[in-house]
């Protein structure tokens, strides 16, 4: 026999002590967790703090399946100490993750606000970027209209072939077998027709059968898989995560939503945002501008089908006279009318633009270098052109400032994917995936806080603060009072 103490087996600098202090600082009842207080009679359920601690430990160490988490609770000394020796069943562990998807996100947001009051998050410059994770849905079970059409065409061909065999067949047994095959193909055809109707009714471009919220996305190196495009904003001061979301399959229409939500969460008057060229969209940049958010988004190169022709940047726009000067020195004028433009497959509202032309094109010697049209060159200037040009000018004038973007974002996503295995979702539906992202991001911010403050100081700070659902003003006063005690 031997005497053994779990307390003495856990190092004072162990990360599980940070997790323990963090969860104990949360007023779980205010976030909607059940079984925080239990009746005296009957067998007591597992306290939500026990399961939350288990998940934070697991996501921190790349352990996310419920059976592996159950195993850790039985074999891992650190987890035994963290859970006080309790051993929840994997069903209980799985249900907890599904039931509390929204509280995970809210806890993350409250923690971010606490970090702001501790001045670990500055709230002046954030970088926005995205990373993609696979969903619990195979590419086989993801359809768009073209894919459904190919299946229907293939089925029609098979039915036609079977019908020819049926007409040529002599034996009654063969005819019966062929008729059964035709009936089976008719059933398949009906299911694909129903799928096409569902796709049309949804208003989406694609539909997934296993996880309805998942979309076909390009993961890396043109490899397409079904998953989620997770948007994240990171504060520049200490590289701490601020906000996250998921929606579109690419970054084109994601900038303003995540930027505005980050500004609201940080409660600042103005904000600078750094992002790569995937976010370079006029409407999004102007939306940020109206919310007092200054964008530094890398400009996209002008697109043209013929690279031998003059690109748009060869034409100089004069804002005072509202015209363009072409390479030949001629003025391209507009009649002042606003036209509307939208792509057929774009569900968003069409944007407005003015068209600039000149009659001098027809007699111009440079016409062959400018356009393939006999009627001359026409330039369309959108309603967002001013916002785009201002953004592009800021990036060109501040290259070192913009270059921070990659330093802020890239290493975080590398850590989450390579070290913690966050390459795929363990749950289905957008809300549950966002809850899982919240667990992962809480763990990352805690790790960064350990690096910045150290274990002892962070635990002390957490013990003097309570993360709960308070009125913003009251919560801010309490957090600042506690910050004064901790950091002074």
For residue 486, what pLDDT band results from cuts at 50, 70 and 90? very low
Tens-place pLDDT, residues 194-204: 999 999 998 88
The phi and psi torsions of 123 (rounded to 5 degrees) equal: 75, 25
Q: Which of 338, 350, 108 is nearest to 233 (CA)?
A: 108
Decide: pTM greater than 0.85: yes
Tens-place pLDDT, residues 414-434: 999 999 999 999 999 999 999
Q: Which of 103, 16, 113 is nearest to 56 (CA)?
A: 16
Mean pLDDT value across residues 81-104: 94
Looking at the DSSP assignment, which residues form a beta bridge with residue 223? 220
Tokens 């994770």 found at: 133
% of the chain beyond a pLDDT of 70: 91
Q: What pLDDT score was predicted for residue 460?
A: 92
Instruction: Say yes or no to pLDDT of 157 above 70.
Output: yes
Four-residue CA torsion sign, 358, 360, 362, 367: negative
Instruction: Say yes or no to pLDDT of 171 above 80.
Output: no
Looking at the DSSP assignment, which residues form a beta bridge with residue 331? 325
For residue 470, what pLDDT band results from cuts at 50, 70 and 90? very low
Q: What pLDDT score was predicted for residue 485?
A: 44
Q: What pLDDT score was predicted for residue 20?
A: 95
Q: What pLDDT score was predicted for residue 471?
A: 46
For residue 137, what pLDDT band results from cuts at 50, 70 and 90? very high
Alpha-carbon span 461 to 302, nearest angstrom: 51
- For the record, the structure tokens of 449 come out as 């806080």
Q: Residue 273 in contact with residue 293, Cβ under 8 Å?
A: yes
Mean pLDDT value across residues 37-42: 71
Tokens 């398949």 found at: 188
Tens-place pLDDT, residues 235-294: 999 999 999 999 888 899 999 999 999 999 999 999 999 999 999 999 999 999 999 999
Alpha-carbon span 274 to 264, nearest angstrom: 17
Mean pLDDT value across residues 91-108: 94
Q: Residue 330 in contact with residue 375, Cβ under 8 Å?
A: no
Q: What pLDDT score was predicted for residue 304?
A: 63
Higher pLDDT, 297 or 176: 297
Q: What pLDDT score was predicted for residue 53?
A: 97
| Residue 367 Rama label (left phi>0; alpha psi -120 to 50; beta) | alpha
């Amino acid at each position: 026999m031997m005497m053994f103490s779990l307390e003495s087996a856990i190092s004072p600098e162990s990360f599980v002590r940070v997790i323990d202090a963090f969860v104990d600082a949360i007023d779980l009842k205010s976030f909607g967790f059940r079984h925080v207080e239990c009746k005296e009679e009957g067998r007591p359920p597992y306290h939500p703090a026990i399961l939350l601690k288990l998940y934070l430990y697991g996501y921190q160490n790349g352990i996310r399946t419920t059976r592996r988490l159950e195993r850790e609770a039985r074999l891992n000394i650190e987890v035994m100490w963290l859970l006080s020796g309790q051993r929840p069943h994997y069903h209980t562990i799985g249900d907890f993750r599904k039931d509390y998807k929204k509280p995970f996100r809210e806890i993350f947001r409250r923690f971010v606000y606490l970090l702001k009051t501790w001045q670990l998050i500055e709230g002046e410059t954030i970088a926005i970027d995205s990373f993609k994770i696979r969903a619990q849905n195979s590419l086989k079970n993801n359809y768009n209209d073209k894919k459904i059409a190919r299946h229907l065409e293939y089925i029609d061909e098979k039915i036609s072939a079977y019908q020819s065999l049926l007409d040529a067949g002599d034996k009654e047994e063969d005819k019966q077998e062929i008729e059964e095959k035709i009936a089976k193909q008719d059933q398949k055809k009906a299911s694909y027709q129903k799928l096409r109707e569902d796709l049309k009714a949804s208003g989406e471009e694609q539909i997934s059968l296993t996880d309805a919220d998942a979309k076909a996305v390009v993961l890396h190196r043109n490899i397409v898989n079904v998953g989620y495009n997770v948007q994240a904003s990171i504060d520049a001061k200490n590289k701490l995560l601020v906000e996250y979301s998921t929606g579109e399959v690419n970054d084109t229409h994601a900038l303003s939503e995540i930027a505005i939500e980050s500004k609201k969460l940080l409660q600042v008057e103005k904000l600078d945002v750094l992002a790569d060229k995937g976010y370079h969209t006029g409407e999004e940049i102007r939306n940020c501008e109206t919310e007092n958010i200054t964008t530094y988004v890398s400009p996209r190169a002008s697109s043209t089908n013929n690279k031998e022709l003059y690109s748009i940047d060869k034409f100089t726009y004069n804002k005072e006279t509202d015209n363009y000067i072409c390479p030949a020195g001629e003025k391209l004028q507009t009649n002042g009318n606003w036209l509307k433009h939208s792509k057929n497959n774009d569900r968003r509202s069409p944007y407005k633009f003015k068209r600039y032309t000149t009659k001098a094109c027809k007699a111009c010697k440079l016409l062959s270098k400018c356009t393939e049209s006999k009627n001359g060159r026409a330039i369309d200037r959108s309603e967002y052109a001013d916002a785009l040009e201002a953004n592009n000018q800021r990036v060109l004038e501040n290259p070192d400032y913009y270059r921070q973007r990659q330093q802020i974002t890239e290493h975080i996503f590398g850590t989450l994917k390579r070290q913690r295995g966050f390459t795929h979702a363990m749950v289905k539906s957008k809300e549950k995936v966002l809850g899982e992202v919240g667990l992962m991001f809480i763990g990352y911010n805690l790790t960064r806080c350990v690096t910045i403050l150290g274990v002892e100081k962070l635990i002390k700070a957490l013990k003097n603060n309570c993360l709960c659902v308070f009125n913003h003003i009251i919560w801010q006063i309490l957090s600042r009072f506690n910050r004064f005690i901790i950091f002074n």
